[in-house]
Amino acid sequence: MSQPRKVEIRSDGGLSILWDDGHQAAYTPAHLRLACKCALCEDEWSGERRLDASSIASDIRALSVKPVGRYGIQVNWSDGHSTGIYTFDRLRALCECETCLKTARE
């Protein structure tokens, strides 16, 4: 599993992660916030989404990020939400860099 070498909060409140395999990943704040899988945002049993994209503020941003064990990160969002843990596997899948977006389109 890839590990992040460097995690930075971008000026737009999104994240920029440099992975140990050299992949430079990019994440827009709304996309990442919406992808939260904590119990408040997604039903743990049914997988049903409890979080609606329209309920996310357009100026949402990450205020701080902290590592969780050796498997993920926790993001403290400007809407006060900080219970979600983004595992490294999931972050790789959520990457929005040009290369990954291009692959997803093909």
Q: Please work out the total of residues on this chain that contact Zn ion, with binding judged by CB under 5 A.
A: 9
Closest distance to Zn ion from the beta carbon of 16 (Å): 11
Tokens 């039903």: give the residue. Answer: 43
Residue 14 binds Zn ion (CB under 5 A): no
Give the separation between CA 83 and CA 104, rounded to whole angstroms. Answer: 28
* Residues between 58 and 77 that touch Zn ion (CB under 5 A): none
Query: Which residue in 13, 17, 45, 18 sits closest to 31, CA to CA?
Result: 13
Closest distance to Zn ion from the beta carbon of 100 (Å): 3
Of 4, 13, 14, 84, the one binding Zn ion (CB under 5 A) is 84
* Residues between 15 and 34 that touch Zn ion (CB under 5 A): 25
Residues whose CB is less than 8 angstroms from the CB of residue 65 and which lie 6 or more positions away in sequence, other chains included: 7, 9, 15, 73, 74, 75, 76
Residues in contact with Zn ion by CB under 5 A are: 25, 36, 38, 40-41, 84, 95, 97, 100
